Amino acid sequence: MNWESLTAVGTFFSGFIIAATAIIAMRQLDHLRKATQLEGAMAIFADLDRTEFRESIRFIAMELQGRMEDASFRQGVPLGNSADDAVHKELIVLRKFEDVGTYVKHGLLDSALIYDNAYALIAKSWSGLQEVVAIHRAAGGLGFWENFEYLFRNGKIWVERNKPANYVNLA
C-alpha cells in the first residue's frame, strides 16, 4: 500500500469518526433539551398547584363576576399590575399564564406538554377573565396579556388536532 492510499483510508476513517461524534452529540443535545423542558414544565405545574394560584382560580370562578359590580373593586381594575394582589386575585392567574404563554411562544416550554396537562384550566381562566382583559387593554394597550391569549388560542388549536373524539372540554 502506498502513502496516498494510506492517507485516503485515514481521512475516510477520520471523517467517519467525526460524523459519528456529531450524530451522538446531536442526540445528547436533544435529550438535554427535552430534560430542560420537562424541568421547566414541572416547575410550571408546581406553580399551578400552589395555594395562592388555586385561590386565584377559585376567585375567578366564583367571585370575580360579582366583584366586578362593586364600584371600589372595579375602580382598581384599570390599574392592571399596579393593583393590590390581595384584592385583585385575578392578577396572579393573568401573570402566570402570561409567563407560560411567553415561554411556549418562544419554544422554552413544550407546548404539547402544557396543553395536554393544563389546557382546560387555561381556557376556563381566559374565559372568566375576558372583561378584566378588555379593561386592561382599554387602559394600557392591546399588548396586555397577549401571551396569555396566544396560549389560549394555540392551545385550542392543539386540542382540536390532538385530543380524541370523546374529549370533553370543561372550559
Q: Say how far apart CA 108 and CA 33 lie, in whole Å.
A: 9
Query: How many C-beta atoms lie closer than 10 Å to residue 118's C-beta?
Result: 19
Find all residues with CB under 8 Å of 72, minimum gap 6, and list them: none
Domain ranges (residues) in the chain:
37-162
CB 101 within 8 A of CB 149: yes
pTM over 0.85: no
In this predicted structure, what is the pLDDT of residue 167? 62
Provide the pLDDT for residue 151. Answer: 98
Residue 153 has pLDDT above 70, yes or no: yes
- The span from the CA of 16 to the CA of 168, in Å, is 52
Q: What is the pLDDT of residue 171?
A: 52
- pLDDT tens digits along 80-132: 889 999 999 999 999 999 999 999 999 999 999 999 999 999 999 999 999 99
CB-based contact 90:53 (threshold 8 Å): no
Give 38-77 pLDDT, tens digit per residue.
888 889 999 999 999 999 999 999 999 999 999 999 999 9
Q: All 3 cell numbers of residue 13? A: 476513517
* Model pLDDT, residue 29: 74
pLDDT at 2: 77
So what's the pLDDT on residue 157?
Answer: 95
